[in-house]
Amino acid sequence: MDQLLRVAMAAANLGALRDALRARSRQLAILVVCATLGLVFAVAAVLWLDVALWFYCLPRLGPSIASLIAAGALLLVALAALCAVLSMRSPRAAGLPTGPNPAAAGDALGERTALMRRDIGTILAIAALAGAIIGSTPRQRR
Per-residue pLDDT, 20: 79
Per-residue pLDDT, 104: 58
Give the chain's radius of gyration (CA, Å): 31
Give how far Cα 37 sits from Cα of 14, 40, 45, 62, 87, Å. 35, 5, 12, 35, 21
Q: How many CB atoms lie within 10 A of CB 73?
A: 16
H-assigned helices in 62-142? 63-87, 102-118, 120-136
CA distance linking residue 20 with residue 26, whole number of Å: 10
Per-residue pLDDT, 127: 77
Q: What is the DSSP string of 19-33?
A: HHHHHHHHHHHHHHH
DSSP type of residue 1: -
Per-residue pLDDT, 106: 61
Give how far Cα 47 sits from Cα of 21, 40, 75, 77, Å. 38, 11, 12, 10
Give how far Cα 119 sits from Cα of 66, 108, 110, 123, 129, Å. 82, 16, 14, 6, 16
Per-residue pLDDT, 6: 66
Show pLDDT as tens, one digit a residue, over the chain (142 residues): 566 666 667 667 777 777 778 888 888 888 888 888 888 888 888 888 888 888 888 888 888 888 888 888 888 888 887 787 778 776 554 554 455 555 655 666 666 677 667 777 777 787 777 777 777 766 666 6
Give how far Cα 62 sits from Cα of 49, 71, 73, 74, Å. 18, 14, 17, 18
